[in-house]
Structure 1
Amino acid sequence: MRLNDEPFQLVREGIKTVEVRLNDTKRQGIQSGDFITFTNLKSTEQITVKVIGTEVFTSFQALLNHYSNQVTGFSNNIQLSQKLASIYQIYSQTDELAYGALAIELQLISK
């Protein structure tokens, strides 16, 4: 999976431990025990993580209300509306209604 530089660095540092994605067909097969390699879109650096759990939510709002800002890669002072706005730059609300949101709980394996 590809990640922008900032969330990539947070995963690499072990701060961001929950990846937020659309629960589309491509990601519905992700299970505990799977390995994911993230590629930094800026540097092409890669890191590998182990999936330690997944949880499906009906919306990104429900997911973001469930997890802290830190584990999802947001600064502590950012508001819910700002987090949603950043997610809606990537995923459409139509897709969110169709698929829901997926929280992928991560454990860093290699840097």
Structure 2
Amino acid sequence: MDHNMKLYDKPFQLIKNGSKTIEVRLNDKKRQEVQAGDFIVFENIEKNQSIKVEVLKVIQYISFQALLKAYSNKEIGMDEKMQLSQKLAQIYQIYSQTDELNYGALALKIRVVSK
């Protein structure tokens, strides 16, 4: 199954060059449909670009904090010097803590199949 998701330019480029291998998302109804073996077409919302990735693994977490503790900053596409509190603050600019409590977090292990 193919899914479509949007990304800002920085994480998009990190996926494209192969350094970001974990996509962090809210485990909402739309993302609950994503399974290993599926494909995601990421659309760069700042530039007219898209990239297709294969989902290798889907891992559910109770919270973004638990998810972030499980992966290196490089894997999730964040600056190597960022502390956990800074990473959470960045995620909470996109997702609300209420949604996190209701749905939990999702780590999608991905690899690029076409640029």
TM-score normalized by the length of structure 1: 0.99
The one-letter code sitting in structure 1 at the alignment partner of 2:108 is I
Aligned runs of 1:1-111 on 2, under 5 Å?
1-111=5-115
The one-letter code sitting in structure 2 at the alignment partner of 1:96 is E
Q: How many residues align?
A: 111
* Structure 2 residue runs without a partner (length 5+): none
Cα distance per residue 1:56-101 (max 9 Å; x no partner): 0000000000011001000110111110001000000000000000
* Structure 1 residue runs without a partner (length 5+): none
Q: Name the SS of the counterpart of 2:30 in structure 1.
A: coil
Q: CA RMSD in A?
A: 0.5
Cα distance per residue 1:2-47 (max 9 Å; x no partner): 0000000000000000000000011001000000000001102000
Distance in 1 (alpha carbons) for counterparts of 2:95 and 2:37 = 26
TM-score normalized by the length of structure 2: 0.95
The one-letter code sitting in structure 1 at the alignment partner of 2:105 is A
The one-letter code sitting in structure 1 at the alignment partner of 2:83 is Q
Q: Name the SS of the counterpart of 2:94 in structure 1.
A: coil
